[in-house]
């Protein structure tokens, strides 16, 4: 019979106990504000911050984790009309640029995860993230999952344009990874409303 050994996970910076749920990919120390990505059972430092609520609402506030992926996208080939990418990249010629993807890292209906990622990435609503002494758990998707979702969102930006896309080739480089705690309000019907853009999931 195999033996199982349970070990308490402690913050590598201050020694406080860390709260980790089953299958979490990231953990956050509410004592000192240190974040750690769990890679092959080893804690690796990662920046974790929290967004201030821009919308006030009734209900208990909880924080849900998002991956922030700092990327550089190069459009290698695109044969169709329209100026979506010129707008996305800040008015350039549409050949590429830097994009900050916001990818939800928690379980929710697929259509709602897509809506959050799509809208947050377009609007980039967080001005000055802060450190909070707040609980942040439920990291259902790891770094590799977030990268795949980011590419899906990038292609979705193109596919949902009004023009007809004939060819679309791109290169995406992932230059940095962070975690952002986004405030959500618990609604009376059990759903959640985010405190930045007001999206209900």
What is the C-alpha to C-alpha distance for residues 90 and 100, in angstroms, rounded to an integer?
A: 12
Whole-number pLDDT of residue 180: 94
Angle CA(141)–CA(142)–CA(148) in degrees, nearest 5?
85
Whole-number pLDDT of residue 86: 52
Q: What is the mean pLDDT of the chain?
A: 83
Task: Provide mean pLDDT across the span 58-72.
Answer: 92
Whole-number pLDDT of residue 6: 42
Pairing of the two strands 47-50 and 167-186: parallel
Whole-number pLDDT of residue 187: 93
Determine which of 86-90, 159-163, 188-192 has the lowest per-residue pLDDT on average: 86-90
* Residues 142-179 pLDDT 10s: 899 999 999 988 877 766 655 555 677 888 999 999 99
Task: Provide mean pLDDT across the span 94-103.
Answer: 84
Residue 201 clears pLDDT 60, i.e. is over it:
yes
Percent of the chain topping pLDDT 70: 84
CA 79 from chain center: how many Å? 30
* Residues 106-130 pLDDT 10s: 988 888 988 999 899 988 888 778 8
C-alpha distance from residue 24 to each of 71, 105, 142, 149 (Å): 24, 10, 8, 18
Residue spans per domain, the chain: 26-194
């Amino acid at each position: 019979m195999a033996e199982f050994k349970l070990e308490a996970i402690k913050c590598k910076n201050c020694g406080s106990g860390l709260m980790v749920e089953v299958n979490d990919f990231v953990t956050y120390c509410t004592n000192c504000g240190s974040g750690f990505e769990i890679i092959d059972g080893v804690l690796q430092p990662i920046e974790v911050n929290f967004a201030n609520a821009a919308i006030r609402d009734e209900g208990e506030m909880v924080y849900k984790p998002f991956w922030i992926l700092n990327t550089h996208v190069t459009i290698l080939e695109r044969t169709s009309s329209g100026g979506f990418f010129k707008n996305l990249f800040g008015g350039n010629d549409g050949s590429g640029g830097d994009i900050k993807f916001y990818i939800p890292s928690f379980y929710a209906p697929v259509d709602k995860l897509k809506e959050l990622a799509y809208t947050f990435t377009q609007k980039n609503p967080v001005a000055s993230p802060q450190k909070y002494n707040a609980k942040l758990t439920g990291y259902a998707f790891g770094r590799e999952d977030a990268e795949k979702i980011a590419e899906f969102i990038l292609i979705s930006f193109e596919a949902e344009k009004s023009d007809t896309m004939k060819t679309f080739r791109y290169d995406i480089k992932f230059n940095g990874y962070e975690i952002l705690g986004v405030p959500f309000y618990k609604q009376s019907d059990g759903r959640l409303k985010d405190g930045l853009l007001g999206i209900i999931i």
